A and B are shown apart, each in its own frame.
Chain A
Amino acid sequence: DQQVKQNSPSLSVQEGRISILNCDYTNSMFDYFLWYKKYPAEGPTFLISISSIKDKNEDGRFTVFLNKSAKHLSLHIVPSQPGDSAVYFCAASASNQAGTALIFGKGTTLSVSS
């Protein structure tokens, strides 16, 4: 059973426009959420995170929104740039559960065209 779901395998956006990547989760014990970015032939790198006590976290062009009641989070990139083209993974963890780890979704491939 997939606990973290990214239902859109791919997303294409024009440079300068907003990119919105979505993620749903099923485990109500998850209380910390992260987005990772991955370029080809590289490992994933941390992008931005949010704790369940917040509903928004912003870092430059990147903003993550969390809707706990809907068990949904989204990553907004504004404005999108060609260098943002990568695979974006949503991840979640349950900080109060021993023996658990960071659970990732399948990823969404973002293509930003100039």
Chain B
Amino acid sequence: DSGVTQTPKHLITATGQRVTLRCSPRSGDLSVYWYQQSLDQGLQFLIQYYNGEERAKGNILERFSAQQFPDLHSELNLSSLELGDSALYFCASSVAVGAYTGELFFGEGSRLTVL
């Protein structure tokens, strides 16, 4: 158990809909990262928050947004969903501001299926 909690574990929805994925980081971790793993793709970095502020941005679509709340949990909002958005979405946390100190602790992921 990494200590990172993601909900829901599975989600099935239709194209054009909007969903929210939730992540609770490990106790004491201030950084939250979101990654997307599509079929045959690696872990694509989406966005990082540190103590409520956006710190780094990757290949995140404009239809996607995220935020980190004062209690440090984070939400990833995916809107106007398309079939290609079907993927595993991982949240990870770390104590550090940046990723360079290395270890990220990952949740089990939220599997999104868009029909």
Query: Residues on A close to B: CB < 8 A?
Result: 4, 6, 31-32, 34, 36, 41-46, 49, 89, 91, 93-96, 98-107
Contact = CB atoms under 8 A, between A and B. Distances in A.
Q: Which secondary structure dominates where chain B touches chain A?
A: loop
B43 A44 contact: yes
Contact of A46 (B43, B98, B100, B104): B104
Contact of B107 (A34, A43, A94, A106): A43
Interface of B: 2, 4, 33, 35, 40-45, 48, 55-58, 90, 92, 98-109
Contacts of B109: 43
Contacts, number: 70
Given A43-B108, A101-B56, A89 B43 contact: yes
A46 B42 contact: no
A92 to B, nearest CB: 9
Given A32-B100, A100-B56, A102-B104, A89 B42 contact: yes
A33 B106 CA distance: 17
Contacts of A100: 56, 98-99
Given A32-B100, A43-B4, A99 B45 contact: no
Contacts of B33: 101-102
Contacts of A101: 33, 45, 48, 56, 58, 98-99
Q: Which of B33, B43, B90 has the most CB of A within 10 A?
A: B43
B102 A34 contact: yes
Nearest to B4: A43
B108 A94 contact: no
A42 B6 CA distance: 11
A94 B56 CA distance: 13
A43 B108 CA distance: 4
